[in-house]
């Protein structure tokens, strides 16, 4: 089993494009708030523009400094990062204020105006930084709560490898013991691997591991349904890097289980399951398509628990913007589409 990825360092979270955009927009909002302390005369737009430009330069200097010092920050404990970021903010403010003072022709020798201006700017940066630290602590606590919730969801998802599947698999194995003992042995080995992954595997893994788990599950179910179950695989070559795409554990098997429960099992004639892996733009697309019972009387209760659990797992997976969509196709099949960032 591959080792799970290391937890995301706070500097990586801050340097994500979305976080950087929010930081830059926050600097503009802060410039607006500070400029409103001045009279709203004809010169106010000029003062606001200069202040917004200065805060933008401070923000960009801060982000660039954190990016350049990322290897050093990795060696520090996560708890030390906020204070390091505060120190970077104060230094960035002093550099930008000094550069701006020089560009406007100000005298940088120790005089009263320069010292007062620099002191006010650095003090303001420190106060704003302390407020940002409080916000960061709340964000960190919320993120830790989300991680705990994600772990609880994974525990629930692992626990919901349905008991009826276990009973059906064991009954199938018992029926095969006398006539086809080698198949019974294969079934028990596949069942052991499936439950080992469901109950003790890592929180995430490569796509090829999820496909292997789905294969084992379908191999067990094919012994039960025989010719009633038709499975088609549309997969890239084993060496294709698409199969190394990381995803939450047990994100694919529940979709296949859902197809069996609501598409194949209630139909007297069985049906077809098709699993396809390809690309959609910059994303990896995994599709699980299954036929549905012909009549409503044969239909099982709706697609809900398994789909909902996978949807929550994908959305909570490291903020990587994965999605799961489901629906009925124009041909009457049920289609679950999983999109993962490459």
Q: Give per-residue pLDDT as tens, 279-315.
A: 988 889 999 999 998 765 445 544 455 677 777 777 6
Task: Please report which confidence band the pLDDT of residue 5 belongs to, taking 50, 70 and 90 as the band edges.
Answer: very low
Q: Higher pLDDT residue, 100 or 52?
A: 52
Please tell me the predicted confidence (pLDDT) of residue 42. Answer: 80
Give the pLDDT of residue 8.
60
The answer to whether 62 and 20 are in contact (CB under 8 A) is: no
pLDDT of residue 318: 56
Q: CA 154 → CA 198, 250, 319, 328, 332, distances in Å?
A: 9, 8, 16, 27, 31
Residues 72-100 have a mean pLDDT of 84
Q: Which CATH number fits domain 160-341: 3.30.565.10, 3.10.20.90, 3.40.50.10470, 3.40.50.620?
A: 3.30.565.10
DSSP 244: G
Q: According to the model, what pLDDT value does residue 232 have?
A: 95
User: pLDDT digits over 101-140, tens only?
Assistant: 777 666 555 566 778 878 888 888 888 888 887 877 777 6
Q: Average the pLDDT over 66-73 and give the result.
A: 86
Residue 86 has pLDDT above 60, yes or no: yes
What is the percent of the chain where pLDDT is above 90?
Answer: 13
Structure tokens at 50: 């200069």
Q: How far apart (Å, rounded) are the C-alpha atoms in residues 95 and 1?
A: 49
What pTM was estimated for this model as a whole? 0.56
Mean pLDDT, the chain, whole residue set? 79
Alpha-carbon span 170 to 166, nearest angstrom: 6
- pLDDT tens, 245-279? 988 877 888 899 889 888 898 888 889 999 999 99
What residues form DSSP beta bridges with 323?
339
Tell me the two tokens of residue 266: 């209630």
The residues spanned by each domain of the chain are: 10-155, 160-341
What does the DSSP 8-state code read for residue 238?
T
Return d(Cα 127, Cα 122) in angstroms, integer: 9
């Amino acid at each position: 089993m591959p080792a799970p990825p290391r937890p995301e360092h706070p500097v990586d979270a801050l340097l994500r494009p979305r976080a950087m955009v929010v930081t830059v927009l926050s600097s503009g909002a802060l410039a607006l708030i500070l400029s409103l302390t001045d009279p709203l005369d004809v010169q106010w737009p000029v003062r606001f523009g200069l202040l917004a430009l200065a805060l933008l330069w401070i923000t960009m200097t801060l982000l660039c400094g954190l990016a350049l010092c990322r290897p050093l920050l990795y060696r520090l404990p996560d708890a030390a990062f906020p204070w390091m970021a505060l120190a970077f903010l104060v230094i960035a403010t002093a550099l930008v204020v000094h550069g701006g003072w020089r560009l406007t022709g100000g005298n940088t020798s120790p005089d009263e105006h320069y010292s007062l201006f620099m002191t006010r700017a650095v003090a303001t940066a420190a106060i704003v930084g302390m407020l940002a630290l409080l916000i960061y602590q709340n964000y960190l606590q919320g993120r830790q709560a989300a991680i705990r919730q994600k772990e609880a969801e994974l525990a629930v998802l692992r626990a919901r490898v349905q008991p009826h599947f276990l009973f059906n698999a064991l009954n199938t194995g018992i029926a095969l013991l006398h006539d086809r003992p080698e198949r019974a042995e294969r079934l028990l080995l596949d069942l052991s691997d499936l439950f080992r992954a469901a109950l003790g595997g890592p929180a995430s893994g490569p796509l090829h591991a999820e496909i292997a788990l789905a294969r084992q599950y379908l191999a067990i179910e094919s012994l039960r349904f025989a010719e009633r179950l038709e499975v088609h695989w549309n997969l890239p070559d084993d060496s294709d890097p698409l199969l190394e795409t990381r995803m939450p554990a047990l994100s694919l098997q529940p979709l296949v289980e859902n197809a069996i429960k609501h598409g194949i099992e209630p139909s007297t004639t069985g049906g077809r399951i098709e699993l396809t892996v390809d690309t959609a733009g910059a994303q990896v697309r995994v599709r699980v398509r299954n036929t549905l019972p012909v009549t409503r009387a044969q239909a099982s209760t709706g697609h809900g628990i398994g789909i909902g659990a996978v949807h929550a797992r994908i959305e909570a997976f490291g903020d990587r913007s994965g999605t799961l969509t489901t629906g009925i196709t124009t041909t009457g099949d049920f289609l679950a589409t999983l999109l993962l960032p490459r």
